[in-house]
Amino acid sequence: MEVANIARVCHEANRALCLAQGDTSQPLWEDAPDWQKDSAVSGVEFCLANPDAGPDASHKNWLKDKKVAGWMYGPVKDPEAKTHPCMVAFGTLPMPQQMKDVLFSTIVAVLRHHD
């Protein structure tokens, strides 16, 4: 399966998890801004290149990418101000946020061998 397709599945699964948690802020993949799609693709590429890396390593990679793009910690996710409440170490994330990284890594692991 192509990286972009795996990224789409990960994004949509994350969106569904967010909806289940009462978070309606995540757009459909088709409506997502490029920075959000690029972030998902980068996450998939990391997981594919590092198949033994766990959700914590995936989160560290996400943090690195966000920092390079100018994002920083902020109590509210704001793409214009480039602030995000998840700009912290994996272990300090609330469990619902950690589950997003677990879900993402698991989906990539399952789909990497799917043709």
Residue 70, amino acid: G
Report how many domains make up the chain: 1
Domain, as residue range, for 12: 3-111
Residue % of the chain over a pLDDT of 90: 92
Whole-number Cα distances in Å, 92 to 18, 30, 36, 40, 61:
19, 31, 23, 22, 16
Q: Is the pLDDT of residue 114 over 80?
A: no
- In tens, the pLDDT along 13-59 reads 999 999 999 999 899 999 999 999 999 999 999 999 999 999 999 99
Question: What are the φ and ψ backbone dihedral angles of 10, each rounded to 5 degrees?
Answer: -60, -45
Question: What's the pTM value of the predicted model, to 2 decimals?
Answer: 0.91
Instruction: Tell me: pLDDT of 89 over 90.
Output: yes
Asked whether 55 and 105 are in contact (CB, 8 A), the reply is: yes
Task: Tell whether the model's pLDDT for residue 115 goes beyond 70.
Answer: no
The mean predicted confidence, pLDDT, of the chain is: 94
Residue 112 parent element (H or E): none
Please tell me the predicted confidence (pLDDT) of residue 101: 94
